[in-house]
Amino acid sequence: MREGNAGVYECVADPHNDLAISHTFTVTVNGGYTADDEDDDDEAVRLSLTEWCSNNGFFVLFCSSPFFLSKTVPASFESKSDLLEVKRGETAKLVCEAHGAKPVTIQWLRQNTRTGKFEVLNLDYVPDSFTYPRYTAIEKNFENGGSGGSSGSSSALIGGNHKVHGHHSNNHYVKNNRTLFELHINSVNSNDNGRYECHVRNGFGEDRRRIDLFVQDVPAAVRDLHINSIWSRDVLVTWLSPEAIGNSPILQYVVQYWKEVVKTVEVNSGQQTLAGASSSGGHRLHEIEVSPTETQATIKKLTPGTAYVIRVIAVNHFGRGPPSAQVRLITQEEAPDGAPIDITAEPLGTSSLRIRWKAPPKGQWNGQLNGYYLGYRLVNTDNSGDNSAASAADLSPNEISVPYAYKEVPFSGAQSDGFQEEYILSGLNRASTYR
């Protein structure tokens, strides 16, 4: 016999004239004996118990009537724990095989990660994105000795040191049945990670089995993305690794960045930034791959005085996780790379000039333009009485010039007219040439 055959049994005669006769007794198994024959089964139990019953006054009754033996086995699990790995989107099947006299009831629980306590699952829960319950509970009943029944190598002793060996029988006299319970979690995701518990009980006892579920998923979002240092053309960013990596090692981080266009509105021929209004459309997305052991990166070759958006993504074997929260920055400014263009001068009377020009191409600004320095100087020539305008090409080597004088002109150009500026230069000498 196996150790699992130990327990309380009842000999019951088939009732005649509605009269049932029974006797209850306890069977123990000597654990010190190990059988070499693994074919011990319930037929051996039946034969041994038949002999015991006949020796205790039930012989005539058993010979004249069919009988069965009922064993009062508490509900239990042979395996108390398990580990299950399932890919995101698949169905996780948590299996608990219970042994013991029926009926056996089960309760499914999940451990609260904050309190550590196990809480009963709501098997009727239907998420908003589902049209069917998230959980499906299944129960399958099997008779002892059938397909998949438990087996063992221990021998049993009944009464005295009587060794029992037997062969498989289709008559299952010992009601030591097993019940297979399954909990299906449909379309799992990383939120389903955790420890689950199946708690079974019957009229004779109870037991628990725990299953650790690991959902193989893309990593969670990178945390605490932070701008550490900002220069005119470089930026140093740092971050923290995701809280959950999808039960798969991080392979790399991807730093994404792009230019951000800050919208402006024109106010009295000037410009004003429209708070909270920005756009990234039309700008190229750049990516930098970073080693999984690093949690910082330097982004190089940026444009001075330019707004950028940065985010970081963690990558594992199952793909890219969701992006981190975005951070925005403006690189430090530098002096413009380009000079004003389309410069023209137009006389206004005898002592004034109207000067017009346009800002350099915006890609050469290296920030926001604050204004201009308008430089001019008087050019004295031998023909000082000639009031015609002279260009640089017209000036002869005999010309004598004075140093430049400068006027500071604030930036007021509008994008609608190509950032054109105009300034009236007055108080000039009559009939003189300026450059």
Buried b (16+ CB within 10 A) or exposed e, 122-132: eeeeeeeeeee
Kindly report, residue by residue over 9-22, the tens digit of the pLDDT. Answer: 656 554 444 555 55
Q: Is the pLDDT of residue 435 over 50?
A: yes
What is the C-alpha separation between 62 and 106, in angstroms, rounded? 37
Pick the more confident residue, 10 or 178.
178
* DSSP E strand boundaries for 51-142: 67-71, 76-77, 81-87, 92-99, 105-111, 118-120, 135-142
Strands 205-216 and 81-87: parallel
* 326 and 348 both lie in a single domain: no
pLDDT band at 270 (very low <50, low <70, confident <90, very high): very low
What is the C-alpha separation between 239 and 29, in angstroms, rounded? 62
With CA atoms as reference, report the closest residue to 177 among 211, 214, 202. 202
Contact status, residue 36 vs residue 154, Cβ threshold 8 Å: no
* 29 and 175 both lie in a single domain: yes
* 174 and 299 both lie in a single domain: no
- Average pLDDT in the 413-430 region? 90
Q: Is the pLDDT of residue 174 over 50?
A: no
Q: Is residue 23 part of a domain?
A: yes
Query: Does the pTM of the predicted model rise above 0.85?
Result: no
Q: Is residue 145 part of a domain?
A: yes
Coil, helix or strand for 337?
Answer: coil
* 135 and 205 both lie in a single domain: yes
Q: Is residue 336 part of a domain?
A: no
Share of the chain above pLDDT 90, in %: 52
What is the C-alpha separation between 415 and 362, in angstroms, rounded? 10
* 11 and 152 both lie in a single domain: yes
* 421 and 310 both lie in a single domain: no
* 124 and 258 both lie in a single domain: no
Last residue of a domain, one of 311, 330, 349: 330
Q: Is residue 172 part of a domain?
A: yes
Task: Evaluate the omega torsion of the peptide bond into residue 410 and state whether it is cis, within 30 degrees of 0.
Answer: no
Q: Is residue 246 part of a domain?
A: yes
Q: Is the pLDDT of residue 67 over 70?
A: no
Q: Which amino acid is at 67?
A: F
What is the C-alpha separation between 82 and 171, in angstroms, rounded? 33
Q: H or E segment at 60?
A: helix 59-64
* 247 and 370 both lie in a single domain: no
pLDDT band at 232 (very low <50, low <70, confident <90, very high): very high
- Average pLDDT in the 27-53 region? 52
What is the C-alpha separation between 256 and 329, in angstroms, rounded? 14
Coil, helix or strand for 49?
Answer: helix
What is the C-alpha separation between 138 and 265, in angstroms, rounded? 64
With CA atoms as reference, report the closest residue to 367 among 411, 405, 397, 328. 411
Q: Is residue 411 part of a domain?
A: yes
pLDDT of 126:
85
* 317 and 347 both lie in a single domain: no
- Average pLDDT in the 244-263 region? 91
- Average pLDDT in the 201-209 region? 94
* 198 and 65 both lie in a single domain: yes
* 206 and 227 both lie in a single domain: no
Pick the more confident residue, 317 or 9.
317
Residue 57 φ then ψ, to 5°? 90, 10
State the residue range of the domain holding 75. Answer: 1-216
Q: Is residue 335 part of a domain?
A: no
Residue 185 φ then ψ, to 5°? -105, 115
Q: Report the range of poorest mean pLDDT among 166-180, 230-244, 420-434.
A: 166-180
* 192 and 45 both lie in a single domain: yes
Rg (CA), the chain: 45
Contact status, residue 336 vs residue 365, Cβ threshold 8 Å: yes
The count of other CB atoms within 10 Å of the CB of residue 276 is 7
Q: Is the pLDDT of residue 340 over 60?
A: yes
CATH of the domain at 353: 2.60.40.10
When divided into structural domains, the chain yields a total of: 3
Contact status, residue 371 vs residue 359, Cβ threshold 8 Å: no
From residue 392, give the alpha-carbon distance in Å to each of 235, 271, 389: 45, 35, 10
128-132, 173-177, 365-369: which is most confident: 365-369
Last residue of a domain, one of 330, 353, 369: 330
Contact status, residue 424 vs residue 352, Cβ threshold 8 Å: yes
Q: Is residue 205 part of a domain?
A: yes
Name the burial class of residue 280, with classes exposed (0-12), middle (13-18) and buried (19+) by CB atoms within 10 angstroms of its CB: middle
Last residue of a domain, one of 174, 201, 216: 216
